[in-house]
Amino acid sequence: MKFLFLFGKIILLFFIPILFADGADGKLGAKNLSQIERFIAREGDVMREVPKDYPVLFKKNDHTKKGDDYHAGMNILIYGHPNIREAIDKFRYLQDLGVDSIAIVFPVFQEDWQANEILPDAELTPTVDELLLLIESAHQFGMRVMLRPILDEESIVKTGHWRGSIQPSNPDAWFESYRELMFTYAELGERTKLDVLNIGTELNSLERNYDKRWKKLIREIRNVYSGELTYSFNWNVIQYIPTSNFAKSLDFIGVDAYFPLNVADDASVDDLIVAWQAWIDRYQNIFKDQSIVLTEVGTLPIRGSHRTPYRWEYANGVADPQTQVNYYEATFRAWDKKVSGLYWWCITLDVNKVDLDYSPLDMPTEEVIKAHFLNSVQPN
């Protein structure tokens, strides 16, 4: 039986190039198929269905708001092992909204807040091969791709901590473990011509006192990866960015912009712009002197959520899509020409979403995204 199985695979490998060879009609042949297209053809049963328009899956994204340097972005949070076909559908949908940049966000883990080792999880972290396919498929839509491994907090919050308050008992061991992890994704990034590798997110407690370690990590990553590097600072520590030496070694600085906008539940767009402007004025020296991208910004469609946009849950919250609509519109206007782009937080690949979450998809907020990312509408 084993011989027959191997023989069958050999026959398939022999005939696939013939089946997809260039024909008189000029259709794309096997020699021109990308790795993602080959994967879909090969794994049709796994992907549930081969796209009807196969092998012409992709159209190049040729619209951006402010040129090639502006990140018209969306975060895609992936736990577990993604269905690549669903990811392709999502990329196509995002492209129609004007999104030209995606951040692939996925979890890595440590045992507790004092652990010295940080690792992928076999069940919850996408494999390197899966990430490769996601990167390549997004690239075929003409999208800029950022890879964002983020420390999951489930094992940390049990003791009242979060990723920004971890304290490894042996920092040297933790940074060595983190280096090995980042090298895995840096090497993947070099293989796939990844546009941006995000080397850390909201690790507040490991930033200011470990500047030399971060600079060393950046230097070593640049030896194996030629794309851009960034780091996402949490909104409540950005005042320290000007004194951070490792921040100066980045290609641009990421800010997770969950600034509280302390205005009324039914705040208008103008009210929210004024609240945003107070924060922008407060840190104008940072936004003026550095290349900044908002690597996370967003809020739930819950009334008053703009006051605590970092909150994931509201036990007694009142659903209010207009809150999210106003927040997005105000954010676009307030940050216009002040940053090099933004990535909305966030969507998933879940096609059966029930609960309200941060996602703007299938919400009135989509029209705001289109107006600014796709149609290049400028504020009055």
| Token pair for 223 | 């030896």
Task: Quote the pLDDT of residue 14.
Answer: 36
Secondary structure (3-state) at 83: coil
Nearest to 306 by CA among 330, 277, 332: 330
Residue 72 and residue 69: Cα distance in Å, rounded?
9
289-321 pLDDT, tens digit each: 789 999 999 999 999 999 999 998 888 899 999
What kind of fold does domain 71-374 have according to CATH? TIM Barrel (3.20.20)
Secondary structure (3-state) at 295: strand
Q: Give percent of the chain with pLDDT exceeding 70.
A: 79
36-89 pLDDT, tens digit each: 555 544 444 333 333 334 333 434 434 333 446 899 999 999 999 999 999 999
Task: Quote the pLDDT of residue 20.
Answer: 31
Residue 105 and residue 75: Cα distance in Å, rounded?
7
Residue 108 and residue 118: Cα distance in Å, rounded?
7
Task: Quote the pLDDT of residue 333.
Answer: 98
User: Domain spans of the chain?
Assistant: 10-57, 71-374
Residue whose pair of structure tokens reads 């969306």 in the numeric block: 74
Identity of residue 250: L
